Amino acid sequence: MTSHQNHPGVEPAEDHAQQGEDLAALLERLLGARPDKTQKDLATESGVRYPTLNAWINRTRGTSRIDHEVLRSLVEVFRGWGVEVTPKEMFEAAGRPVPGPVGDEREARLLKIYRALPEGKQRDVVKYAEAMQAVSRVQ
């Protein structure tokens, strides 16, 4: 985003990738539905650090790299408070693609972790997974 200070008279370009509310606006609206709850309550219950959440709401920190689990956690907290919001709304507001089925997302996450491990640890993961599979067949 272009800064007004660095380029006087030049307006920052709009982000056309997002439609509707951005994450800051969505979080403000959802928090507004529960006046008895604060940003600090949301941060505590969702597991997001308060300074991070506050930066998202104040638009001083980008949202394009927020982990899927964090966005899902925010949705769960709001739903627990009786505030209606869908994962799709939260992901779109954060400028993130809406993930497919949770199983696909979990598999992709596991593969990413596996690939980051050294070869010896990868073998350990395979042995552990095989052992878990054998145990689950017995039960």
Residues 89 and 132 in one domain: no
**Of 17-26, 36-45, 57-66, where does the model show the most confidence?**
36-45
CA 126 to each of CA 51, 84, 117: distance values in angstroms, whole numbers, following the listed order = 39, 40, 12
Q: Are 43 and 74 found together in one domain?
A: yes
30 and 69 belong to one structural domain: yes
36 and 83 inside one domain: yes
Q: Is the pTM of this model over 0.85?
A: no
Which pLDDT score is estimated for 1?
A: 42
Distance between CA atoms of residues 101 and 136, nearest Å: 23
Number of structural domains (the chain) is 2
What are 58-90's pLDDT values in tens digits? Answer: 999 888 788 888 999 999 999 999 999 999 899
Q: What CATH number has the domain bearing residue 80?
A: 1.10.260.40
Does residue 1 lie within any of the structural domains? no
Domain of residue 111: give its range. 102-138
